[in-house]
Amino acid sequence: MGLNKTKQLALDFSDIVEIVFKDKIDGIVIYDIVDESNQHTFKLKFRVYNFAGVKFQYKNDFFEIYLFLNGEEGLLLSKPNSRYSEISDWDAYLKEIIAKIESYIPEKYLKAKGWL
């Protein structure tokens, strides 16, 4: 039995995240996959810079990316109503997200850990 389309999309996106973020992340988890006739969803979460959590939520071509610091409510990093299918260059898009994440993490920490 083959993978359903939503699960395959989640796996493909997870691979893209690993390639772009490289050693800045660990522990990617894919969860809440739903592949039904009019509902296609998945979520991805991971730690970034061993400092914060990131959650990516996909639902019927719309997505949101959140940053979680110190157990606080998530900060929305993506633009509202972002469409997965409209991103043609995920490498460039995720590099912008990395820059936003870095703006919330103390520069002193990033330098001490060798990420800057």
Task: In whole angstroms, give the CA distance from residue 82 to residue 104.
Answer: 22
The reported pLDDT for the residue numbered 61 is 95
Would you kindly state where each structural domain of the chain is located, as residue ranges?
5-112
pTM above 0.75, yes or no: yes
Task: In whole angstroms, give the CA distance from residue 61 to residue 53.
Answer: 23
For the chain, percent of residues with pLDDT exceeding 70: 97
Please count the residues of the chain.
116
Tokens of 30: 């894919």
Bridge partners, 17 (sequence order): none
pLDDT digits 0-9 by tens, 57-105: 999 999 999 999 987 788 999 988 899 999 999 999 999 999 999 999 9
Confirm if 54 and 60 have CB atoms less than 8 A apart: no
